């Protein structure tokens, strides 16, 4: 994407999709050839496969110490070779409680709190290697960019970006500074997802044709819980699309070698009407003044379905539903010419023919054959430490082990940008009833990039859970 085009989008507000419904720049209903965000940039350095100099000790500053941030702190303190140097939260009580939780440990972090810009002081320290971001969504890109500009690697909670412009900011900053920018997509480290990734890489499924992923999780009560921060509620107002695609998309994209051998080409997205959030707001407003501003609000559709086609002709279906009473599911379906895997509804299963799923014994044999070394080495300890059944701990352990051993990360800035880009792309598609082109954040490097997350051979090996 040219600088002039991006400057124009900033000036018009189109980068934030403020004019998405207007069908600007020739993106008419049903065609995406002139979609305004489809251009490339001049890649100054390919961050895929980049290995930063090894760090004997990874000195970390955490920003955001609510639910996700406090959980990250509990996990990171258990990983060898980590030193927590700074803790930051807008709410001083959160930062103080986090510091108190480390009193029986060798960590002695400095606290930054009480100001909306306190996190900048943490980032400006010269004795921090990694900034770990667990703040509300709209802060992820500004904090990640600011950190990389100050010579820090970045790990950010999902999504990494909210607009296409922010996706480009992450890519260009990471390339220019040669600092890692990893989105903390924990589902890529769930146990069945890693097994099926190894199976896909080994050709078990043959040529992969189709994948499905989702975030189906009834959060209606949480969205309308005024005791919690209301930013989640605001994210569900005035934005109609797939607002949380990464959980389902990440493992599917890796199994299809997206960004390293294939790329997403175009997509279309459709949302249902809102049948639940608006009525909930109106009902609450009848008895509580707090909810009156939300009554009559323009809430997103309850269920969004997006379809993506890749350059090599594969298809991906993604769903987002956080309000209807459906059982939890990320689907995680991989379908190929010789086999299929499907995780949800549980139990996870594999089939190689029309005749039905493999038996439990046959599946256990496959699981033993394709379980990656990371699971064999630290899987049980990860389950003990916890975090969504252990996958959070595996993700953090792997990040630290790669930084300590000077290894490429399993997920790079191009993955962070692409998986996050589905959010604004889906919003545009819904608003315009249009197919849209997917930007190539690698600037063509996907054709020669080698597959990432080679978890069988890139173990490093000198990091323990303690």
Q: What is the pLDDT of residues 403-413, one digit of tens each?
A: 999 999 999 99
For residues 466 and 107, give the distance between their C-alpha atoms in angstroms, rounded to a whole number: 14
Residues 362 and 242 in one domain: yes
- Summarised one tens digit per residue, pLDDT across range 392-404 is 999 999 999 999 9
Given a contact cutoff of 8 angstroms between Cβ atoms, the answer to whether 215 and 330 are in contact is yes
pLDDT of residue 261: 96
Residues 192 and 224 in one domain: yes
Residues 213 and 362 in one domain: yes
| Residue range 322-351: mean pLDDT, rounded | 97
Instruction: Please provide the average confidence, as pLDDT, over all residues in the chain.
Output: 90
Report the share of the chain in percent with pLDDT over 70. Answer: 89
Q: Characterize the bridge pairing of strands 153-156 and 130-133.
A: parallel
**Cα angle value 36/42/48 (rounded, 5°):** 105
Residues 99 and 15 in one domain: no
pLDDT of residue 127: 97
Given a contact cutoff of 8 angstroms between Cβ atoms, the answer to whether 236 and 294 are in contact is no
Q: How confident is the model at residue 227 (pLDDT cuts 50, 70, 90)?
A: confident
pLDDT of residue 3: 38
Q: How confident is the model at residue 4 (pLDDT cuts 50, 70, 90)?
A: very low
**Of 308, 433, 438, the residue nearest 29 (C-alpha):** 433
Residue 462 domain flag = no
Contacts of 263 (CB under 8 A, 6+ apart): 310, 311, 438, 440, 442, 446
> ω before 159 within 30° of 0 (cis)?
yes
List the structure tokens of 176: 């220019």
Q: How confident is the model at residue 23 (pLDDT cuts 50, 70, 90)?
A: very low
- Whether residue 319 is predicted with pLDDT greater than 70 in this model: the reply is yes
Local structure of residue 357 (DSSP, 8 states): B
- Whether residue 21 is predicted with pLDDT greater than 90 in this model: the reply is no
Residues 120 and 193 in one domain: no
- Whether residue 440 is predicted with pLDDT greater than 50 in this model: the reply is yes
Residue 68 domain flag = yes
Residues 74 and 173 in one domain: yes
Residue at which a domain ends, from 128, 162, 184 = 184
Residues 217 and 154 in one domain: no
Residue 386 domain flag = no
Handedness of CA 367, 372, 377, 379 (dihedral sign): negative
Residue 453 domain flag = no
pLDDT of residue 228: 75
CATH number at residue 252: 3.30.360.10
Q: How confident is the model at residue 39 (pLDDT cuts 50, 70, 90)?
A: low
Q: How confident is the model at residue 232 (pLDDT cuts 50, 70, 90)?
A: confident
Residue at token pair 């060798």: 106
| Residue range 36-41: mean pLDDT, rounded | 63
Given a contact cutoff of 8 angstroms between Cβ atoms, the answer to whether 66 and 94 are in contact is yes
| pTM over cut 0.85 | yes
- Whether residue 421 is predicted with pLDDT greater than 50 in this model: the reply is yes
Residues 72 and 217 in one domain: no
Residue at which a domain ends, from 184, 207, 242 = 184
**Of 216, 221, 224, the residue nearest 297 (C-alpha):** 224
Q: Which domain holds residue 100?
A: 58-184
Given a contact cutoff of 8 angstroms between Cβ atoms, the answer to whether 98 and 69 are in contact is yes
**Of 131, 184, 139, the residue nearest 166 (C-alpha):** 139
Overall domain count for the chain: 3
Residue 434 domain flag = yes
pLDDT of residue 36: 54
- Whether residue 460 is predicted with pLDDT greater than 70 in this model: the reply is no
Residues 237 and 336 in one domain: yes
Residue 435 domain flag = yes
- Summarised one tens digit per residue, pLDDT across range 73-125 is 999 999 999 999 999 999 999 999 999 999 999 999 999 998 999 999 999 99
| Residue range 361-379: mean pLDDT, rounded | 94
CATH number at residue 112: 3.40.50.720
| Residue range 389-394: mean pLDDT, rounded | 95
pLDDT of residue 455: 61
Residues 162 and 69 in one domain: yes
Q: How confident is the model at residue 34 (pLDDT cuts 50, 70, 90)?
A: very low
For residues 151 and 147, give the distance between their C-alpha atoms in angstroms, rounded to a whole number: 7
- Whether residue 273 is predicted with pLDDT greater than 80 in this model: the reply is yes
**Cα angle value 363/318/425 (rounded, 5°):** 150
| Residue range 415-428: mean pLDDT, rounded | 97
Residue 293 domain flag = yes
Residue 64 domain flag = yes
Q: How confident is the model at residue 231 (pLDDT cuts 50, 70, 90)?
A: confident
| Residue range 38-61: mean pLDDT, rounded | 91
Residues 306 and 272 in one domain: yes
Residues 100 and 241 in one domain: no
């Amino acid at each position: 994407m040219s600088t002039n085009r991006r400057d124009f989008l900033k000036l018009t507000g189109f980068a934030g999709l403020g004019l998405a419904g207007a069908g600007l720049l020739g993106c008419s209903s049903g065609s995406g050839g002139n979609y305004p965000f489809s251009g490339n940039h001049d890649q100054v350095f390919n961050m895929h496969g980049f290995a930063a100099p090894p760090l004997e000790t990874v000195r970390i500053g955490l920003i955001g110490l609510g639910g996700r941030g406090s959980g990250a702190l509990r996990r990171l303190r258990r990983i060898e070779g980590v030193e927590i140097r700074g803790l930051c939260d807008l709410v001083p009580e959160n930062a103080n409680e986090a510091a108190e939780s480390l009193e029986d440990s060798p960590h002695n972090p400095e606290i930054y709190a009480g100001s909306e810009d306190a996190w900048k002081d943490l980032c400006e320290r010269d004795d921090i290697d990694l900034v770990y971001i667990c703040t509300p969504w709209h802060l992820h890109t500004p904090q990640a960019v600011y950190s990389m500009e100050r010579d820090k690697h970045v790990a950010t909670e999902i999504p990494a970006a909210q607009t296409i412009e922010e996706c480009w900011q992450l890519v260009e900053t990471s390339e220019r500074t040669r600092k890692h920018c990893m989105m903390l997509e924990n589902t890529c480290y769930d146990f069945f997802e890693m097994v099926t990734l190894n199976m896909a890489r080994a050709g078990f499924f043959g040529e992969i044709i189709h994948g499905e992923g989702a975030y189906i999780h009834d959060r209606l009560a949480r969205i309308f819980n005024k005791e919690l921060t209301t930013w989640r509620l605001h994210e569900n107002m005035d934005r109609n699309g797939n607002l949380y695609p990464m959980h389902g998309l990440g493992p599917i994209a890796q199994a299809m070698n997206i960004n390293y051998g294939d790329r997403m080409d175009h997509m279309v997205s459709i949302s249902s009407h809102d049948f639940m959030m608006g009525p909930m707001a109106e009902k609450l407003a009848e008895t509580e003044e707090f909810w009156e501003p939300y009554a009559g609000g323009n809430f997103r559709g309850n269920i969004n379905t997006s379809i993506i086609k890749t350059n090599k002709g594969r298809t991906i279906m993604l769903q987002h539903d956080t309000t209807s009473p459906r059982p939890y599911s990320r689907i995680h379906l991989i379908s190929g010419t010789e086999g299929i895997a499907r995780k949800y509804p549980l139990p996870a299963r594999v089939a190689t023919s029309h005749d039905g799923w493999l038996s439990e014994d046959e599946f256990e044999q496959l699981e033993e054959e394709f379980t990656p070394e990371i699971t064999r080495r630290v899987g049980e300890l990860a389950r003990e430490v916890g975090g969504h059944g252990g996958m959070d701990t595996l993700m953090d352990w792997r990040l630290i082990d790669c930084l300590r051993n000077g290894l490429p990360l399993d997920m790079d800035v191009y993955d962070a940008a692409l998986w996050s880009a589905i959010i604004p792309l889906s919003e545009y598609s819904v608003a315009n009833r249009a197919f849209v082109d997917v930007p190539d954040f690698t600037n063509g490097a996907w054709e020669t990039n080698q597959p990432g997350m080679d978890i069988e051979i890139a173990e490093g090996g000198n990091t323990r859970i303690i």
